[in-house]
């Protein structure tokens, strides 16, 4: 994980998803698109 990324954990449909994202350029739409992929 580089210095610009932030680790987040999200509970989605009973599963905990750990993601590393750059919050300066990350959009909610992109976050929602990640759920089915993880």
Q: Coil, strand or helix: which one is 21?
A: strand
Q: What local confidence, expressed as pLDDT, does residue 20 receive?
A: 87
Q: For the chain, what is the domain count?
A: 1
Tokens of 4: 């610009």
Domain membership of residue 1 (yes or no) is no
Q: What local confidence, expressed as pLDDT, does residue 30 receive?
A: 81
Q: What local confidence, expressed as pLDDT, does residue 38 receive?
A: 59
Q: What local confidence, expressed as pLDDT, does residue 2 receive?
A: 76
pLDDT tens track for 1-38? 677 888 989 888 898 988 888 888 888 888 788 777 65
With residue 7 as reference, give the H or E element that holds it. Answer: strand 6-12
Supply the range of the domain harboring residue 21.
Answer: 6-37
Q: What local confidence, expressed as pLDDT, does residue 1 receive?
A: 66
Domain membership of residue 20 (yes or no) is yes
Burial of 5 (0-12, 13-18, 19+ CB in 10 A): middle
d(CA 27, CA 10): 15
Domain membership of residue 27 (yes or no) is yes
């Amino acid at each position: 994980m580089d210095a610009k990324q932030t680790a987040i954990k999200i509970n989605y449909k009973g599963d905990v998803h750990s993601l590393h994202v750059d919050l300066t350029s990350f959009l909610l739409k992109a976050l929602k698109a990640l759920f089915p992929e993880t």
